[in-house]
Amino acid sequence: MNTDNEFFNSKMGQYSKMARKSVFQLVFAIALLISFAACKQTHSTSVMSKTFEGDGDNLERVVQELVAPPLLPEHDQLAKGDPKIVEVSLTIQEKKMEIAPGDSIWAMTFNGSIPAPIIVVREGDFVELTLKNPATNTQMHNIDFHAATGQMGGGDISEVQPGQQATFRFRATRAGVFVYHCAPGGMMVPMHVVSGMNGVIMVLPRDGLKDENGNLVTYDKAYYVVEQDFYLPKNADGTYKNIATPQESMQEMEAAIKTLIPTHIVFNGHRTSLVGRRALQAKVGDKVLFITSQANRDTRIHLIGGHADLYWPGGKFNNRPITDLETWAIPGGSAAAALYQFREPGTYVYLNHNLIEAFAFGAVAQIKVEGEWDNSLMKEISKAGPIE
C-alpha cells in the first residue's frame, strides 16, 4: 500500500507539477497575447502610422462665427458626431492701431484684432478657410497654418492680392493649439507677423482633454492671451515716428526689426488690453484653460499666485499633461495650453516671467477671481506692524 501510495503520491506530484507547468504556460501565453494586443493597439494609434482617406467633400458643414480675443467661439468640448467641415472666414484689415497709450503702428490684421481670432475645431475635422483681402488694402497676404499638413501650411494656395479672396481646406490631423500667421515671403514674413498677423487654432481631441491619469477633464472658461512683440521706428531724438502710410511703415520697420529689440511686448495687442477694468474674470472653483502663443519670439509664462495644474507639452493634447508647473516655456512660433483651477480669490497676474519684458515692456494680464478665502491654503497670521 505504502508503495502504491508512494507511487500514487509521486504520480500526483508529477501530475501537480505538470498542472503547474500547464497553468504557467497558459498564463504566459495569455500575457503574450495581451502584450501583443496592447502593442498592436499602440501601433495602430501611433502618429507614424495614421492614414487618411477622402477629401471631405461630402461631410456635414458647420459655420464657425469667430469672436474677438480673449474669448473663444462657441464650441463643444467633446465632438458631436462624425468629423465635419468647419467653415471659417477671415478678412484682412490694414489699419492704424494703438498698442500702448500714445503709441501706434500701421497694423495688419486678420478680422481687425491683434491677435487674430482663435479658431476651434476637433481632431479629424476639416477647416475650410476663406481669406478675403479687400481692395482698400495695399499688400498681398496669405495664411500659413502650423496645424495643416501640406506645402507652406496653405501659404501658397491662399495668396490674395488686394481685391481677391481664396478658399482652401485642410484636415486637422493633430490635436493641440497651433499658431497660424501671414507668410507672404522674404522679409514680408516677419514684417506682417510683427504687425499683428498671427493667431491660434485649437484642435481638441474628439473625446475631450485628458488629465495626467488619462481621465476626462473639462474647463469652465477658456481665455486666449497672445504675446506680441512690436518694433516701432524711432526719430533721432528717440521718440516714436508717426507713420502715415502702410508703405512708409514697411520701409521704416525693416531697420527697426533688425535690431531684434522690441519697443513693446504686450498681450492681446495693447499694453492695457487685459488689466484693470479689462482684467479677465473667474470664480473660485473655476477650471480655466489658458491658451497663449508667441508667433515670433520665445517667452515664458507664469501665473502669480497659481500654477498650471495641467500643462500639455508643446501645447499638443495627445501628450500626457505634466502637473504643478510654475512657469512654462513657449518657443517662438508655437502655442501653449495650461489648465488651472482657481482655489483662492484675489487679483492674479498672468505674465511673461522675464519681469523686465512684463513690467517695462507690457506683457502682463490680470485675472480677478471672486470667492471665499480658504485658510487651509494660506492664512494671514499678523498684519504688518512695527518690528517687536
Q: Which is nearer to Cu ion, 142 or 273 (CB)?
A: 142
Please enumerate, as own/partner, the contacts of 276-281 that have beta carbons within 8 Å and a separation of 24 or more. 276/366, 279/347, 279/365, 279/366, 279/367, 279/368, 280/70, 280/223, 280/225, 280/350, 280/365, 280/366, 280/367, 280/368, 281/367, 281/368, 281/369, 281/370
Question: Nearest distance from residue 195's CB to Cu ion, in Å?
Answer: 8
What string marks each residue from 194 to 233 as x (binds Cu ion by CB under 5 A) or -? ---x------------------------------------
Residue 162 CB coordination number (10 Å): 15
Backbone angles phi, psi at 173, to 5 degrees: -95, -10
Q: Which of these ranges, 62-70, 111-119, 133-141, 306-314, lies near Cu ion under the rule CB under 5 A? A: 133-141
Question: Nearest distance from residue 181's CB to Cu ion, in Å?
Answer: 8
Q: Which is nearer to Cu ion, 197 or 301 (CB)?
A: 197
Q: Which is nearer to Cu ion, 172 or 188 (CB)?
A: 188
What string marks each residue from 85 to 124 as x (binds Cu ion by CB under 5 A) or -? ----------------------------------------
As beta bridge partners, residue 141 has 160
Question: Nearest distance from residue 119's CB to Cu ion, in Å?
Answer: 17
Contact, 198 vs 268, CB < 8 A? no
Question: Nearest distance from residue 139's CB to Cu ion, in Å?
Answer: 6
Q: Which is nearer to Cu ion, 122 or 192 (CB)?
A: 192
What string marks each residue from 341 to 370 as x (binds Cu ion by CB under 5 A) or -? ------------------------------
182 is a contact residue toward Cu ion (CB under 5 A): yes
Q: Which of these ranges, 30-38, 182-190, 205-213, 249-257, lies near Cu ion under the rule CB under 5 A? A: 182-190
Give the interface size with Cu ion as a residue count (CB under 5 A): 4
Residue 308 CB coordination number (10 Å): 23
Q: Which is nearer to Cu ion, 332 or 371 (CB)?
A: 332
Residues 107 and 180: their CA atoms lie apart, in Å, by 17
Q: Which is nearer to Cu ion, 128 or 159 (CB)?
A: 159
193 is a contact residue toward Cu ion (CB under 5 A): no
284 in helix, strand or coil?
coil
Residues 257 and 242: their CA atoms lie apart, in Å, by 17
According to CB under 5 A, which one of 84, 132, 141, 271 is a site residue for Cu ion? Answer: 141
CB-based burial label for 23 (10 Å; 0-12, 13-18, 19+): exposed
According to CB under 5 A, which one of 84, 146, 171, 192 is a site residue for Cu ion? Answer: 192
Q: Which residues are catalytic?
A: 141, 144, 146, 181-182, 192, 197, 302, 326-327, 353
Question: Nearest distance from residue 164's CB to Cu ion, in Å?
Answer: 13
Please enumerate, as own/partner, the contacts of 43-48 that have beta carbons within 8 Å and a separation of 24 or more. 47/174, 47/318
H or E stretch at 109:
strand 103-110
302 is a contact residue toward Cu ion (CB under 5 A): no
Looking at residue 200, what DSSP letter applies? E
Cell of 270: 495693447
Residues that bind Cu ion (CB under 5 A): 141, 182, 192, 197
